[in-house]
Amino acid sequence: MKWRRAVAEPSQALPVVLLPALASSSWAYPALEVVHLMGLALLLGNLVLVELRVWGAARTLDIGALSRLALPLSLLGFGLMALSGMLMFATQPAELLANRFFVWKLGLVTLAGGNAVLFHLRGGLQRLDALARLQTVLSLGLWLAALVCGRWIAYA
């Protein structure tokens, strides 16, 4: 495919000096994986707290205050995952684009992001209704499925 060839050219993704260092360093790629996992922990840990509150857990906690604390941390986690993921992708784009688990992971992350946008656009935190609860189950399922696909990338 034409777009795969364009993306697969590493010099388009990173400065020429950085890419060889990432690809050849014995510690750079594992360090990126650690950052990726830290981002995942921040994202999922905070999302689960908010989702449990949507389901009625800890009713004494104000959902507005909880979400003002947890959602920025979730976004920070997503940002860490996106940045580290792009850097890891740049070291082997052709191989990753050919990996079905990588493609599935990207699709699941896109769906999870779309679900989050819809949740907040419809005021799910204010409504706390059945649809909000359904969207939190969908959110957790999509992120966990993306996690599983991410883990299987190395084995495909």
pLDDT above 60 for 76: yes
- For 108-145, the pLDDT digits (tens) are 999 999 999 999 999 999 999 999 999 999 999 999 99
Predicted confidence at residue 16, as pLDDT, reads 54
Q: What is the pTM of this model?
A: 0.86
Domain ranges of the chain: 16-155
pLDDT above 80 for 59: yes
Confidence of residue 25 (pLDDT cuts 50, 70, 90): confident
- For 41-57, the pLDDT digits (tens) are 999 999 999 999 999 99
Q: Which long-range contacts (CB under 8 A, 24 or more apart) does 17-26 make?
A: 19/90, 19/91, 22/87, 22/90, 22/91, 23/91, 23/92
